[in-house]
Structure 1
Amino acid sequence: MQGEIMPVITLYRQLHERLPSRETTPRSALIREDASPVQAQRETLDVVCSLLSAAKVRFFCVRPMPGHPPVVAVPLRERKRALRVLAASGKPLVAARLPYGKRARGLTPEEAVGRLRPLKRAATLLNDAWAVRVGLYFASPSRTLTLGPEYGCDLEFWAKEKSMLVAPRANVSCDAVPAKGEKVEGGEELFNPLISAGHSVRAYPTRPEFTRRLVDDIDFPIDAVYTWVDNRDPAWRSRRDQALAGAAEIGEPNEMATTEARFTSRDELRFSLRSLLMHAPWINRIWIVTDGQTPPWLDTSHPMVRVVDHKEIFSDPSVLPVFNSHAIESQLHHIDGLAEHFLYLNDDFFLGRPLVPRTFFEANGITRFFPSLAHVPFGAPELEESPVHAAGMNNRRMLEDLSGRTLTQKLKHVPYALRRSLMFELEERFCDAFEATTRSRFRTSSDISVVSSLAHYYGYLNGKAVPGTIEYTYVDLSLRKTPAKLRRMLARRKHDAFCLNDTAPTTPDQDALFGKFLEAYFPTPAPFELR
């Protein structure tokens, strides 16, 4: 039966049944308060480079292929010494042989890793290897997050041919460098795809060939924007109830636009932000758009995050207060200081594993969007019960009038990649539709949905957006099967992104389960959380 759920203690046990624990986390795992993929990659690369440098083993860092961890190149003739130095370091390093050349073609980075062994026991077995994965195990204090050699670094052994050192595997820059070439310093953003230039705090020895700005490098800042509401705030509830009373006098809005589930806060924002910082640490600044509210756990003095009131972004503040997400979303591009390229997220969107900027943007600024298999129904918007469907129908009519093309697919509930300039262009072109939507205090059948549909299809028709792919799932918290699904998600961590939503009011037990899941999946606090 929908909405029913077993006692939370039973669910808690089920949820943790397949979690990393003190027993299943590797004994050699290093506990880190800031455990995250970028922390693991940074620390492993630092360990390898510092050990090689201290032993005076020659090396330089190489720009890796997309999806691969950082790469350290060592001349082939120093292979045995390099492996011996790392093995004798006392660090709990593990290693595995990697294929190279034709044997590496078609393999994912995960498939390419052979059997992992402690390096102090395996060093001699790798003396003929051309490439080796080196890693450490890290864990959060809760043991619910374990990071292994997938976030390590690769050692490559470059053979000398005449006056050149030749790479054993492909990289994004070149096949060979001069054996006696110049050594320079390169920022970590060159070698770690999770780091942006704005967040680079380290430099590593490299060769000039790997410091060039490539045609597909994404080096523009990417911001993130959230909309957030806390329905537990008495002042907000008073404004909402007064607006509802006024709307009822003129026969609107419908029940789907005002259901309590639309405004419920379960602290999702805190964990969505953790997911963003953990899996997209290249984000530049974060903007949280609210109706005069501030999360009590948020350090508003932190330079990375800023709370923006609705009054700051609405072209006509006289329409406020509004409780219509379509209206609020249509004004996001008015945020003063917002970067040209940004991601828009609801607070029930979560990133499930590391994603690089090219998931959402091309280096030339083109955005990616992610079509869903769900369709926007055909029919008349004014007869449609769902305001979401009605907005999609209105978007379709506008694009049909403009281009003769018909929109049929919704988009997945994942971060929406947007360009500020395109939003201004849309507002100028469809000014009447924008204005009507901003004046709707609650969702109505005349709304348009700008950031979750219209901007992306309009961008596609104008050569400014392209479809992309993303591993995604949607979870309805009110369903009976949800506990088992959350347990699988936590154990496998295979989704790039997921949405945790509800189509009906949830019970206290369901809410408790939800909180336990988020704490386990995202145990590392963001730097702007008050402790």
Structure 2
Amino acid sequence: MRASTATALPSRALRALRHPVRTSRRLARRWATRRRHARYERLAPVRALVADGHAELTTARGRRVVAVRRARTTPWELAAETADLVSALLDDAGIVHFATNHRGTRVTTWAVLETDWPRALAALADLGTAGDPVYAAPARSSLGSPLATDAAVLATLPVLRVFRYVRDLATGRLLGADMGCELHRWSADEHGRWTAPARTGVVQCVDDLSLGRRARWDGASEPVLAVNEVPDAFEVTFPVDAVYLWVDDADDAWRARRDVVRARLGLAPAGAVGQGDDAHRFRDRGELRHSMRSIETYAPWIRQIYLVTDDQVPTWLDTSDGRVRVVDHREIFEDPSLLPTYNSHSIGAQVHRIPGLSEHYLLMNDDVLLNRAVEPADFFTPAGQLKVTFSRSARPDVTAADRTPVEHARERSAALLVRDHGRRPSRLFAHVPVPQRIDVAEELLERYPEEVRATLASPFRAPSDVVICSWLHLYTALFTGRAVPSALRFGYFNVGDASARAKMEKYRTLAGLSTLCVNDVPTDDPALDAEVGAWLGDWLARRFPTPARFERDQAAGAVPVPGDGRPAARADDEEGPWASATASPRT
């Protein structure tokens, strides 16, 4: 009887019965925390902030918090803003501090000497008392406590995450601990050396506190130890650009040029807009616009965005802004007589010729979206090696008669790699941003001149093609020590599949994924195809509602927040409706 009762009880209840004293102490601490937080919410400046609509009372991980309300924000901007806030407070208090995080990383780590630690927390507590809801949490914890009431408790910790809870009204997300900065308490030993409390920084032990300056990812200057003015061996310091290949088949002039080429080759016209076996490769359902928004949200460190087109410019793109540069095929093709071309294999082989392109760049499809904050080190090593993300799918071994033009091109590319490197390329590549190097691209053109020339001469995909910018580029880099496998988490969704669309509507499915591919595979039913297209446009607008600075009509591109702006998403999830820890679907 006793055993059956024990097994019926939850594990938490069993622990409470076995350790009554420990349980009572934990409950006492919890109630004390709640009372302190309730007192903070009753402070006149905080109540005024909420009453004015600049903040709201909500819950995060089951704990009541005060969240600042923002019309729009991004993880990178919010982290930089918090770092600047803390730095300004420390400067005003005359407290020496310096950044110890690696260059190019999003979260700033401020080092503060233990002799100044109490004053640093007191300055942050005063800010909270004045009505700025600044929170802090232990390292690797997302449960924040207001510094205005909990500074004395938090002062005993050597590492703190300092942040504001922020409600992004555009998306409904509640941003928290991951969007702030860190404070590390450095201690001195008997030899006068200062030591960091954690081994995560670019420097961990020094005896000389001489300071210098360095540039942050956004160009802002920040204090560092003099020894860190020189880039560290484990930092990615080179610029990275992004390149899109894009076309819109709704453009009548573009369609007319294509039909002329098809007629010259004895091919039938392509048919109506959005029709044909490969129509999904040319149509635009808003993917490009929202993919670029995802870069501005999650990778603002991208130096320049290039859009490679065939005499086309998206109607919504403001080219005068300078953030996105439109590059016509005529600018990059060494032999313009081969134009026009509608072969992505051919265009990809000339991308590295973009004037001003950085040595390291990301090749983007418009259906690939960033889903979380990413850093240069997610795609390149500090030495400049490519981080290649492979699919779980292997290259299909099928007879020549059953191959598609794409599979023919893969087989031809694989045969060249086996011939030159003695190794069989078996894995397909994931649908993610593809890292590239100009030197590798130039080397391939010199090594395979005949194969490249045949590919460039094909205005449409053909069995004689080779896949230069993916198969030859990435595997050659891998076989020659210029690339390594990547552990980037990604998701692939065929939006023509109803089950895939259902998964995409569940925020837990997407949590933890750095990139998403929303592959618009056509269906056999025109009515269903139109329905899927409408759903995809709506999903993209809900997912990335904030217009980028290079969009012409900012208001038209934004999705209004329903009601008074309070999100319909779960209020108790710190990462809001688009993030939580779960496994990733992969191809």
Contact 1:272/1:350 (CA < 8 Å) preserved in 2?
yes
**Structure 2 counterpart of 1:286:** 305
Compute the displacement of 1:67 (Å).
7.0
Report the residue type matching 1:96 in the other structure.
A
Output the TM-score relative to the length of structure 2.
0.77
Q: Which moved more, 1:435-444 or 1:24-33?
A: 24-33
Match of 2:293 in 1: 274
Structure 2: distance between partners of 1:416 and 1:22: 42
**SS in structure 2 at match of 1:511:** helix
The within-5 A match list for 1:338-349 is 338-349=357-368
1:135 corresponds to 2:160: no
Q: 1:317 to 1:504 in 2, by over 3 A?
A: same
Answering whether residue 282 of structure 2 is matched by residue 263 of structure 1, we say yes
Deviation of residue 378 (structure 1)?
A: 2.3
After TM superposition, give the deviation of residue 170 of structure 1 in Å.
Answer: 1.3
Q: Which residue of 1 aligns with 2:185?
A: 157
Tell me what 1:3 maps to. Answer: none
1:227-266 matches, within 5 Å, as: 227-249=245-267, 258-266=277-285
Paired position in structure 2 for 1:108: none
Superposition TM-score, scaled by structure 1 size: 0.85
Q: 1:454 to 1:489 in 2, by over 3 A?
A: farther
Picking from 359, 367, 371, the partner of 1:352 is 371
Question: 1:299 corresponds to which residue?
Answer: 318
**Is the 1:257–1:443 contact (alpha carbons within 8 Å) kept by the matching residues of 2?**
no
Distance 1:340 1:65 in 2: 19
Q: Among residues 104, 108, 113, which one is paired with 1:70 in the alignment?
A: 108
Letter in 2 for 1:440: S
Given that 1:472 and 1:498 are in contact with CA atoms closer than 8 Å, whether structure 2 keeps it comes out as: yes
Mapping of 1:385-464 within 5 angstroms?
385-464=403-482
Q: Give the secondary-structure state (helix, strand or coil) at the position aligned to 1:301.
A: helix
CA distance in 1, matches of 2:240, 2:518: 24
Matched, 1:118 2:137: no
Please, which of 529, 532, 535 is the counterpart of residue 510 of structure 1?
532
2:349 match: 330
Q: 1:441 to 1:211 in 2, by over 3 A?
A: same
Amino acid at match of 1:75: L
- Asked whether the equivalents of residues 70 and 166 of structure 2 are also in contact (C-alpha less than 8 Å), the reply is yes
Aligned to 2:97: 59
The answer to which structure, 1 or 2, has the higher relative contact order (CA under 8 A, 6+ apart) is: 1
Higher deviation after alignment, 276-285 or 170-179: 170-179
Residue 266 of structure 1 and its aligned partner are, at CA, apart by: 0.7
Query: Quick one: which of 543, 546, 549 aligns to 1:524?
Result: 546
Q: Which moved more, 1:231-240 or 1:512-521?
A: 512-521
1:294 and 1:256, CA in 2 relative to 1: closer, same or farther beyond 3 A? closer
Q: Which residue of 2 aligns with 1:104?
A: none
Contact 2:142 2:178 in 1 (8 A): no
What RMSD in Å do the two structures reach over aligned CA positions? 2.7
Q: Does 1:176 align with 2:217?
A: no
CA distance in structure 1 between the partners assigned to 2:355 and 2:372 by the alignment: 31
1: CA distance between counterparts of 2:551 and 2:357?
22
> How many angstroms apart in 2 are the aligned matches of 1:175 and 1:129?
18
- Post-superposition Cα deviations, 1:246-284, rounded to whole Å, max 9, x if no partner, equal 4444999xx998422121101111111111122222211
Partners of 2:76 and 2:510 in 1: CA distance: 19
Tell which structure's C-alpha radius of gyration is larger. 2
| Contact 2:171–2:543 (8 Å) recurs in 1 | no
Task: Give the Cα separation in 2 of the matches to 1:65 and 1:340.
Answer: 19
1:33–1:524 Cα contact (<8 Å) kept: no
Which has the larger displacement, 83-92 or 29-38?
29-38
Change (3 A) 1:491 1:473: closer
CA distance in structure 1 between the aligned counterparts of 2:269 and 2:90, rounded to whole angstroms? 74
Structure 1 residues not aligned, in runs of 5+ = 1-20, 99-111, 189-194
Cα deviation per residue 1:151-170 (whole Å; 9 max; x = unaligned)?
A: 21111111222423221111
* Identical columns (%): 33
Corresponding residue SS for 2:428: strand
1:216–1:75 Cα change, 3 Å: closer
Equivalent position to 1:87, from 125, 129, 133: 125
* Correspondence for 2:340: 321
Residues 450-494 of structure 1: CA distance to partner in whole angstroms, max 9, x if unpaired? Answer: 112211111122222222121011111111112321122477532
CA distance in 1 between partners of 2:311 and 2:425 (Å):
36
Distance 1:114 1:148 in 2: 7
SS in 1 for 2:506: helix
Rounded Cα–Cα distance in structure 1 between residues aligned with 2:464 and 2:68: 55
Does the Cα contact within 8 Å between 2:103 and 2:235 map onto a contact in 1? no
Aligned partner (choices 213, 220, 231) of residue 185 of structure 1: 213
* In 2: Cα distance, 1:235 partner to 1:419 partner: 34
Q: CA deviation at 1:333?
A: 1.4
Q: Deviations over 1:128-183 (max 9, x none)?
A: 1111111112333324344221021111111222423221111443322337x323
SS at match of 1:339: coil
Q: Is the 8 A contact 1:256 1:386 kept in 2?
A: no
Q: Secondary structure at the match of 1:85?
A: helix
